[in-house]
Amino acid sequence: MSSILSVRNLSVTFDVRRPGAWPWTPPRKLHAVSEVSFELSPGECLGVVGESGSGKSTLARAIVGTIPSSGGNIMFDGADLANMEPRERRVHRRDVQMIFQDPLAALNPRMTVGEIIAEPLITHEPGTPRKDVKARVGALMERVGLLPNLMNRYPHEFSGGQCQRIGIARALILQPKLIICDEPVSALDVSVQAQVINLLMELRRDMGLSMIFIAHDLSVVKHISDRTLVMYLGRVMEMADSKTLTTIPEHPYAQALIASVPIPDPVLERARLRPILEGELPSPLAPPSGCVFRTRCPKAQATCAQAKPVLEDLGDGHQVACPFHAPEKLLAVTG
């Protein structure tokens, strides 16, 4: 099956000036995303996990186009989004939509819910009659679990979970092919998280959506995604089928992430192995040479500082960027 999205060697860097530096002083380079590659098939959900600062949100925003990429290709439906002019990219913008982390901050407080959901439709299909716009907004509100008669209310009158449903409806009004979810449930209560996750799974199944789902919680990612990509300091550490990754991870970083997820069984929780990462995430302004994870890796050797590890294909789409990788049987992440 051909891919709907193909990301090849995508990099994103930012210029950062030192406080108080002279204007002619060259800025430092912050490497937020470095040479990330993956494929996404139609109807597939790819989970992206990693610590804060690992480049997950930057990757998502580069694909959507809210920040420019510094190198690489983003092939979406046969078009290279990374190397398009903004006017050319507008044609494809309706097919790639995003759901943001903070549901209330993502909504304009001066607009009613109906106006918020309808805004993309009016922008991309300005000739749509007002009656049809209202009908589509009402139908979509009902589809995401909101009463259509609430469309004249403002965002502050809704709960966090309801605001996220509004954000989902706004993202779906143009019937996109790809939805990028940037930690859409991290700001919600656990019970509300489950409702939103189930809603996204239903919409994905009913509408045939492709999805990139970014989260910290591996149990959530395993529940919703087909494959999972693990990022650290802007680089891909491991990518595999979600079940394989959460039960027999190969990369030391993936093993530590999975071991950090609590198991709701006191006996199993006390008995299981728990590799602990020492130290803090290095600054992306000065990443370690060679393998960026070597400063915290329990398996690091002298050669790790010499060259960047390449993704090794272990078969069945399982890739790992570590020459000293070894599978470790962990208790499965529940979810």
Q: Report yes or no on 223 lying in a domain.
A: yes
Rounded CA-CA distance 181/100 in Å is 6
Please report whether residue 265 resides in a domain. Answer: yes
Residues 229 and 240: their CA atoms lie apart, in Å, by 7
Q: CB neighbours of 127 closer than 8 A, spacing ≥ 6?
A: none
- Residue 110 maps to a domain: no
Task: Point out the least confidently predicted range of 8-12, 75-79, 112-116, 230-234.
Answer: 75-79
Q: Is residue 74 in a domain?
A: yes
Residue 188 pLDDT grade (very low, low, confident, very high; cuts 50, 70, 90): confident
**CA 238, CA 221: separation in Å to the nearest integer?**
15
* DSSP code, position 334: P
**Position 1 confidence tier, pLDDT thresholds 50, 70, 90:** low
Q: What is the 3-state secondary structure (H, E, C) of 99-120?
A: ECCCCCCCCCCCCCHHHHHHHH
Q: What is the mean pLDDT of residues 91-115?
A: 90
**What's the pLDDT tens digit per position in 9-30?**
999 999 988 888 788 888 889 9
Q: Which residues pair with 16 in a beta bridge?
A: 28
Residue 331 within any structural domain of the chain: no
pLDDT (0 to 100) of residue 282? 87
Strands (E), 160-216: 178-182, 210-214
Average pLDDT of the chain is 88
275 close to 259: Cβ distance less than 8 angstroms: yes
What are 268-324's pLDDT values in tens digits?
Answer: 667 766 666 777 888 888 889 999 999 998 888 888 999 889 899 998 889 999 988
Range of the domain at 282: 5-95+176-320
Bridging pattern class, strands 318-320 and 235-241: antiparallel
For residue 13, is it within any domain? yes
Q: Which CATH number characterizes residue 194's domain?
A: 3.40.50.300
Cα 262 to Cα 183, 217, 219, 269, 309: the distances in Å are 19, 10, 9, 7, 30
Q: What crossing angle do the helices spanning 160-172 and 190-207 adopt, rounded to 10°?
A: 20
Checking if the pLDDT of 264 tops 80, the result is no
How many domains does the structure of the chain reveal? 1
Q: Is the pLDDT of residue 335 over 50?
A: no
- The Cα 264–Cα 266 span in angstroms is 7
Percent of the residues in the chain that have a pLDDT greater than 90, as a whole number: 54
pLDDT at 185: 86
Name residue 242's beta-bridge partners: none
Q: What is the pTM of this model?
A: 0.90
333 to each of 296, 318, 329, how far by Cα in Å?
Answer: 23, 18, 12
280 occurs within a structural domain: yes
pLDDT for res 329: 61
Q: Is residue 275 part of a domain?
A: yes
Residue 333, pLDDT > 60, answer: no
Check whether 228 has a pLDDT greater than 90. Answer: yes
- Is residue 246 over pLDDT 80? yes
Q: What percent of the chain has pLDDT over 70?
A: 95
